[in-house]
Chain A
């Protein structure tokens, strides 16, 4: 599915709506360059899950956990990993197959670990400065 996101307001709406449908164990893999709004989208998903904590960039610590919402949120940024094996160090299976929702930024770095049934959102720049194009697929 292709979706045109005109600006940040649409990102927010999309994230909140997506969050309503999420259930424990769901994984959302985000793929897109710097500045395409991966963290912004994650913030909206968190808002939709009813998370009250502030969502900050997980770049430094790779994963951050948020427990205040309807379902726990595990927010990953795997940019700095050089290989998928390094995810083992983090004990990623407990997150991926746990009771929360995982949102993974730079998921293309660890594609072989993304389980079946995950939602992949590939984000590209649009024609206008604030516009983004979402390509949404499911891993089956």
Chain B
């Protein structure tokens, strides 16, 4: 407790990042420490799970220590512990869970498992104190692409999701074949700024009429086929143009479906969250569309778009206040549905 306010320690280790954060009540961030393994994974062009868990193990204690120090509190001040329990890489999740469980046991404090996507959505609350459900959320990252109707702090209905690759995964794979490196999102975003987005017309996949699902495997194949055709022709490949055209095709689909979903659910607020929500084109397109169609748009600053523990702490506090507390049997659910 601090000034009679609840203190939550949040822990997130589902993928690349080892993160710990201290949250005051639901929305005030006292600290949010993130140790990224991106440099390690760059060598492999993707997340390497074994490396991920080993580094989480090395990072977790120092990261928690710095989070407490930065927040100027001690472990004794912590009232509850929130941790990502899924989805993610099983070995990586287990490090965070084992840590959170031991702390909850030793400190005799409540333990709250948080769904990673609920975390991403909660990230938006932190910087937009006025935002309250209901609203429509698009959660896009390397592992997820979902349209979610958020009816209350702990009530979610998934209206659509990807049927194959996540949007961020498509960015990683296309960046790889374009020779741009990892992580694909920011690299394609950068390259696209120097390219012509109308140079190549990649097919936009909208699936069946009325469907809010996504498919990004086809556009990845579309880019590969285009590269092969160019190679056979002996034509010079313009990486920036290809990146820009690919990015526009993906963002058009994401934007269009989100707007349709908001209209269908009669929501007047739209939230975009997750790593891909940091993409400059997606932000611009969503802004323009929301202005034109009369929706209020909310998105987190880039640091809260990536995986971080502040969002997990925020979500955990909301769950705790609704009485949604877990016990020490809490397990990792690599394929957990929201």
Contacts and interface: CB of A to CB of B under 8 A. Distances in A.
Interface stretch (B71-79, B223-231, B279-287): B223-231
B338 interface: no
Contacts of B48: 80-82, 86
A111 interface: no
B99 interface: no
Contacts, number: 83
A94 interface: no
Contacts of B15: 60
A61 B90 contact: yes
A40 interface: yes
A89 B53 contact: yes
B207 to A, nearest CB: 12
Given A34-B220, A61-B89, A61-B90, A86 B50 contact: yes
Given A34-B224, A59-B165, A80 B87 contact: no
Contacts of B164: 39, 43, 55-57
B112 interface: no
A125 to B, nearest CB: 7
Interface string B61-85: 0000000000000000000000000
Interface string B112-151: 0000000000000000000000000000001100000000
Contacts of B143: 60-61
Interface stretch (B169-177, B246-254, B323-331): B169-177
B217 interface: yes
A81 B164 CA distance: 20
Nearest to B52: A80
A57 B53 contact: no
Contacts of B88: 60-61
Interface residues of A, number: 29
Nearest to B173: A34
A132 B9 CA distance: 52
A108 to B, nearest CB: 16
B46 interface: yes
Contacts of A125: 228
A62 interface: yes
B335 interface: yes
A83 B47 CA distance: 13
A35 B220 contact: yes
B166 interface: yes
B103 interface: no
A90 B225 CA distance: 34
B196 interface: no
A16 B99 CA distance: 45
B334 A129 contact: no
B220 A59 contact: no
Given A35-B221, A59-B169, A64 B335 contact: yes
B334 A61 contact: yes
Interface string A24-53: 000000000111010110010000000000
Interface of A: 33-35, 37, 39-40, 43, 54-57, 59-65, 79-83, 85-86, 89-90, 125, 129
